[in-house]
Chain A
């Protein structure tokens, strides 16, 4: 409990630092947003009035304090381009990205664990060598290109889905899932390869340790030794990989959303960067950063359940 409490305090501090950095980053941008909002009708007086209205003439730290307070209470500011609340804009796009990341994560775990365990049981076999090579190739294909390959193979050649024709969940849950499977696979493929490789080497390393030999000497069979003893230890480093995966999946989904024209927050982020709509970009950046920090926190907590030794340190 003490461990979780300590980690939670670290989490909150980290979230504040990250949000401060994200806030400051967008303060560095040359030119006042008021000038770009007014466009050609900007006169020094008008700019000053609008800056005052937006609160941009106050000290940066005061602005940050206000911004955090508003952010937590649900007021994420107003979009420069659309003059609508940022929160509504982001929340509208969040489900698609969320579904994409969750599907990709589930896919990674469901495929890589059985595969990793299988190849580690057959070390040195043809299957093992084959998967090692395929793994290396899968790690070298950028998610963008995996996406394009899937569009070509399943979209254009086999006509399983229509690339670019996104089906909203509300319209047809089944077809939504069928469409989202391909972007999810594009995002997950590289991470599956990494996880399989990691799991394989981790299991093989554990199987060579003394306690496994002891287990054998007590009459355990090889598979008993693996399932009952080695796997629990072998999974520990893989949890770290999965935490990185959860963070990386979000980053690659920004790119892959573009390939499959999935209306998620990645596309919204790119659009807002393109139009210099910084309240929107800032909110999304803070959300994504918070996601990375929280994922690492969850990994830390899971760690200490799987490996009680960590609690002592």
Chain B
């Protein structure tokens, strides 16, 4: 006990987080992300079995010919997960692109010019981000209906404020820097200053929120498709597979476990990378 107290004395220099450990997150995240990206990319061109091919081998547990087993209709689970992951990945990517691009442009403009528009828009953003995005998405789906493209649009619009807020804060900070003043003295236009000089300097804060946004999009899409108000039947989705698999949880647990694991790995990979980068910057 005494020894431990000694070890905790404040005058002892703090152990800084070593570079090695920070890279642990990065490496693990990189491997998981690469694995899922490969699964998704391969799934677009080739799957072990056609995703709709039914067979008499229902509820086959994982074996050599069906690596992750088969589902209630005898379809190969690995093939279906590859297809579902691809669909979920594309939806999340589009959501982040819509939210990220529109949010960044709004954040840049309001952060740079300030004024009444800035104050009003940021109040609106604060209000929107105060509500859980799944709740807002539910309302919008109730009003506009579900389906792949509607989900992308609804989530994309809902994600704009989170990007706009962060970018705005960073741009407002950068605006007072000397390099902006000197660019102005050299006669650069506002447009040029914002997008050529300031924007590249916001990438440091932009990357983490892009990964968080992607993860939230995966989560929202999976949850809504699970509830039956997201992606609709002809389109594949991990969330919908999860809700189907729950019926057969006792008979074919691998169905739910593998599907859920695919979602978890998709989210975990990027969140580990983001965490690794943040730790590295702190160290």
Cβ B268 vs Cβ A145 within 8 A: no
A22 with B139: CB separation less than 8 A: yes
Asked if A29 CB lies within 8 Å of chain B CBs, one says: yes
User: Which of A44-52, A56-64, A66-74, A252-260 makes up part of the contact surface?
Assistant: A252-260
Q: How far is the CA of A248 from the CA of B271 in the complex (A)?
A: 19
Are B135 and A251 neighbours in the complex by a CB distance under 8 Å?
Answer: yes
Tell yes or no: B116 within 8 A of A by CB. Answer: no
8 A Cβ contacts from A265-313 to B: 269-270, 273-274, 278, 281, 285, 288-289, 292-293, 296
**Best-buried of A123, A145, A248, A292 by chain B (most CB within 10 Å):** A145
Chain A to chain B contacts (Cβ below 8 Å), 22 pairs: A14-B127, A25-B140, A137-B264, A140-B264, A140-B268, A144-B222, A144-B226, A145-B242, A145-B264, A163-B249, A212-B10, A221-B5, A222-B5, A251-B135, A252-B134, A255-B223, A255-B226, A258-B227, A269-B138, A273-B142, A274-B229, A285-B139
Smallest CB–CB gap between B95 and chain A, Å?
16
B132 contacts across to A, CB distance below 8 A: 247-248, 250-252, 292
Looking across the interface, which residue of chain B has its beta carbon closest to that of A137? B268
- Contact partners of B141 in chain A: CB under 8 A: 273
Complex CA gap A293/B239 in Å reads 30
Question: In whole angstroms, what is the CA distance A112 to B142 when docked?
Answer: 35
Contact A136 B15 (CB under 8 A): no
Q: Does B215 contact A (CB under 8 A)?
A: yes
Contact-residue bracket for chain A: 35 or more
Contact surface of B with A, Cβ cutoff 8 Å: 5, 8-11, 14-15, 17, 21, 25, 127, 130-135, 138-143, 215, 219, 222-223, 226-229, 239, 242, 245-246, 249-250, 253, 256-257, 260, 263-264, 267-268, 271-272, 275
Could you tell me the distance in whole angstroms from the C-beta of A186 to the nearest C-beta in chain B? 12
Highest count of chain A CB atoms <10 Å: which of B127, B138, B140, B141? B138
Interface window among A82-90, A93-101, A149-157: A149-157
Residue pair B268, A255 in contact (C-beta under 8 Å): no
B142 touches A140 (CB 8 A): no
Interchain CB contact under 8 A, B246 and A148: yes
Tell me whether A149 and B260 are in contact in the complex, defined as CB-CB below 8 angstroms, given that A270-B229, A292-B132 are known contacts: yes
Chain B residues near A278: list those with CB within 8 A: 142
Q: Is A77 an interface residue (CB 8 A)?
A: no
Q: A12 at the A/B interface (Cβ < 8 Å)?
A: no
Contacting residues, chain A, for B263 (C-beta < 8 A): 142, 145
Q: Which of B10, B130, B222, B256 contacts A142 (CB 8 A)?
A: B222
Report yes or no: A136 in contact with B275, Cβ–Cβ below 8 A. yes
Partner of A247, one of B127, B130, B227: B130
In the assembled complex, the CB of B124 is this many whole angstroms from the nearest CB of chain A, namely: 11
Contact residue among B14, B135, B142, B268 (Cβ-Cβ distance under 8 Å from A250):
B135
B-side contacts of A14, CB under 8 Å: 127
**Residues in chain B near residue A29, CB distance under 8 A:** 143
User: Does the CB pair A152–B257 fall under 8 Å?
Assistant: yes
Q: How far is the CA of A143 from the CA of B138 in the complex (A)?
A: 17
- Complex contacts, B257 vs chain A, CB 8 Å: 149, 152
Q: Given A124-B15, A251-B132, A252-B134, A152 and B222 touching (CB < 8 A)?
A: no
Within 90-149 of A, Cβ neighbours of B (below 8 Å) are at 121, 123-124, 129, 136-137, 139-145, 148-149
Known: A140-B268, A254-B138, A285-B138. 12 other contacts (CB 8 A): A22-B139, A124-B17, A136-B275, A148-B242, A221-B5, A254-B227, A258-B226, A269-B138, A273-B141, A281-B142, A285-B142, A292-B135
- Chain B contacts of A9 at CB under 8 A? none
A216 sits at the interface (CB 8 A) = yes
A248 to B132, CA, bound (A): 6
Smallest distance from the beta carbon of A19 to chain B beta carbons, Å?
Answer: 13
Contacts of B138 in A (CB 8 A): 254, 269, 273, 285
A232 within 8 A of B: no
CB of A213 within 8 A of chain B? yes
A148 CA / B222 CA spacing, docked (Å): 13
**Measured between alpha carbons, how far is A137 from B249 in the docked complex, in Å?**
23
Which A residues, 10 to 28, have Cβ-Cβ distances below 8 Å to chain B?
14, 22, 25-26, 28
* Minimal Cβ-Cβ distance residue in A for B269: A140
Contact of A140 among B228, B253, B271 (CB under 8 A): B271
- Least CB distance from B220 to A in Å reads 9
With contacts A140-B271, A145-B264 taken as known, whether A26 is within 8 angstroms of B143 at the C-beta atoms is yes
B237 CB to nearest A CB, Å: 12
When chains A and B are docked, how far (Å) is the Cα of A276 from the Cα of B251?
Answer: 35
Q: What separation, in Å, do the CA atoms of A285 and B223 have in the docked complex?
A: 18
Contact in complex: A140, B267 (CB < 8 Å): yes
Which one, B130, B250, B271, B275, contacts A292 given CB within 8 A?
A: B130
Flag if B131 contacts A289 (CB, 8 Å): yes
A29 vs B142: C-alpha distance when bound (angstroms): 9
- Measured CB to CB, the closest approach of chain A to B184, in angstroms, equals 32
Contact A292 B8, CB 8 Å, known A137-B268, A273-B229: no
**Nearest CB of A to B181, in Å:** 30
B contact residues around A25 at 8 Å (CB): 139-140, 143
CB distance B242 to A144 under 8 Å?
Answer: yes
- With a CB–CB cut-off of 8 A, which chain B residues contact A293? 130
Q: Looking at the complex, which one of A143, A222, A252, A269 makes contact with B9 (CB distance below 8 Å)?
A: A222
Chain B residue nearest to A225 (CB atoms) is B10
The 4 closest A-B pairs by CB, nearest first: A251-B132, A145-B260, A140-B268, A140-B267
Contacts of B256 in A (CB 8 A): 148, 152
